[in-house]
Structure 1
Amino acid sequence: MKESIFHRLYDAYHQDVFQFLIYLVKNRMVAEDLSHEVYVRVLKSYDRFQGRSSEKTWLFAIAKNVAIDYFRKNAVHTSHSFDAFNWETEQLVSPLKSPETLIEMNDDMKQLLDALDKCTGDQKMVIIMRYFQELSIAETAEILKWSEGKVKTTQHRAIKQLRDLLTTSVEKEANHNES
């Protein structure tokens, strides 16, 4: 029984979960590993799934937690300190700078993802969920355990920050090309 539920969830959502993770960590192999971790957690905890949310939002909540654990672990390894990693305010920047998936993207997408790395973890998570994964405000709020108002506010601030970062980037490039 559990195995058939697992296969149904995997078949229905694996690609979405994988894409979500790859946008966060920017590395195919790491995203695959994290994706596997998501489904290990799904197998371990499906008995406790109470259906208060959709299976999709439940899976994304697990994927979000797996990604946060990954960033926390890397922050500790990188800094060699055990300071608390606050994913809500810290930037979620993958330690791997040139993933093969970015090579396949166009310049605009690369600029957007670079700018997204300069946003807070909250902002990055909301933008990826809302615009890359096309989740609704309600689904995003449910996954993040926030109010819809907080999602809207965070989204608004993220878009403003991205607009400012991308405008600055374009202006710098224009000035560089003129000189």
Structure 2
Amino acid sequence: MITESNVLNPHQWVSQYADYLYLYAMMRINNEDTAKDLVQETFLAALEKVDKFEGKSTERTWLTAILKNKIIDVYRKRASGLTVNSAYEAEQETDDFFDEDTGHWKAKYAPQPIATIDGQDVLLKKEFNGILQMCLAKLPHLWRSVFTMKHLDDAAAAVICSELRVTQANFWVIIHRAKVSLRACLQKNWN
């Protein structure tokens, strides 16, 4: 049932939600032009579906759900374009971290403690987020998509596998390799 508090007001969408939706898309896509395009596409799709809004959520939640679907479409497109070479090269990079005989970390690459960020230091948070985005951008598209959906969107593994068309086993391998690569990048650039 639509109530006064959840009536759509398309004339206010840009002023009320554009910045929020843009930042949401940027955290997941890490490309300004694509993020801007996704926000515009979200508004257009919402206008086309305005009669389907049931009022079960707020306007912002509804627009965010539309944007999430647009982002997943980008992930799918990018993941389907993953070349064998880029996956192989990324796998080789993560394999370099471990001793072939024992499977343990090589001393040079062993995880080091990462400096924590005090909850009040806004500049440090901003700097860290910039480095994290740079490290995420270095991952192969499929890895970045899986990692982002899992750790930023809190999507379930089954949903990610279905949306990106990967097997459960492949999902866990990708998550592991993405974490290893991100940790190495953060250790190199943050500490």
**1:58 and 1:111 mapped to 2: Cα distance?**
31
One-letter amino acid of the structure 1 residue matched with residue 27 of structure 2: Y
What's the secondary structure of 2:9's corresponding residue? helix
Counterpart residue number, 2:95: none
2:24 alignment partner, one of 10, 20, 28: 20
1:54 alignment partner, one of 51, 58, 70: 58
Superposed displacement of residue 124, structure 1: 1.7
Superposed displacement of residue 30, structure 1: 1.4
What's the secondary structure of 1:111's corresponding residue? helix
Of 70-79 and 9-18, the range deviating more from structure 2 = 70-79
Cα pair 1:13 1:56 within 8 Å, conserved: yes
**2:146 and 2:39 mapped to 1: Cα distance?**
20
- CA RMSD across the alignment: 4.0
How do residues 72-91 of structure 1 correspond to structure 2 at under 5 angstroms?
72-77=76-81
One-letter amino acid of the structure 1 residue matched with residue 34 of structure 2: V
Superposed displacement of residue 9, structure 1: 2.3
Q: Deviations over 1:94-136 (max 9, x none)?
A: xxxxxxxxxxx96522332245565664652465468xxxxxx
- For structure 1, which runs of at least 5 residues remain unmatched after alignment? 80-104, 131-139, 145-160, 175-179
* 2:57 is the alignment partner of 1:37: no
Cα pair 1:115 1:162 within 8 Å, conserved: no
> TM-score scaled by structure 1?
0.50
> How many aligned positions are there?
121
2:128 alignment partner, one of 77, 94, 108: 108
Of 108-117 and 45-54, the range deviating more from structure 2 = 108-117
- For structure 2, which runs of at least 5 residues remain unmatched after alignment? 1-7, 84-124, 160-176
**2:14 and 2:126 mapped to 1: Cα distance?**
29
1:124 alignment partner, one of 133, 140, 148: 148
Counterpart residue number, 1:7: 11
One-letter amino acid of the structure 2 residue matched with residue 124 of structure 1: T
Identity %: 26
Radius of gyration: which is bigger?
Answer: 2
> TM-score scaled by structure 2?
0.48
